[in-house]
Amino acid sequence: MMNRQTSIDIVSLTELPSVAQALLNFAEGQKIFLFYGQMGAGKTTFIKTLCESLRVTEPVTSPTFSIVNEYNGNSSKIYHFDFYRLKRQDEALDMGYEEYFYSNQYCFIEWPEKIPDLLPLHFIKVSITVSNEQLRRFTFESI
């Protein structure tokens, strides 16, 4: 499988729904998404928009303390992870991450760099780069 990559620049949060739709189209059915970006880059905000695109009606919040939140979309469950607070990779083992990652449901993973040895073989890497107050670059890569 060849890696594919594309980038989209936005200057306003009002553009997030179109970026979310572009990501879902780019994914071509892949359901594991890894989100990279500095603190405050907008990972959780973008995931909220993605969840709206998947018809989640309940509030989408950061799972910073619970590590994983579960939402119901129009055709599947969505698992939203935030591994920022993990001290050790094996904490993800303790929570049974495999059950989520290999469930064939959507998995949105913030701070995947905290679990480098536990990542699935194939996923969509989403990098959010902040250039200035206004400009954000979203880079999607199929791995």
Over the stretch 29-79, which tens digit does the pLDDT of each residue have?
999 999 999 998 999 999 999 999 999 999 998 887 788 999 998 888 999
| Cα gap 86→79, rounded to integer Å | 17
Over the stretch 97-129, which tens digit does the pLDDT of each residue have?
999 999 999 999 999 999 999 999 999 999 999
Residue type, 31: K
For residue 83, what are its two tokens?
């591994």
What residues contact residue 8 under an 8 Å CB cut-off, 6+ apart? 19, 22, 137, 138, 140
Locate tokens 């989403």: which residue? 126
pTM, two decimals, is 0.93
What residues contact residue 78 under an 8 Å CB cut-off, 6+ apart? 51, 54, 56, 70, 71, 72, 105, 106, 107, 108
- Domain boundaries, given as residue ranges, for the chain: 4-142
What's the CATH number of domain 4-142, 3.30.420.40, 1.10.510.10, 3.90.1150.10, 3.40.50.300? 3.40.50.300
What residues contact residue 117 under an 8 Å CB cut-off, 6+ apart? 89
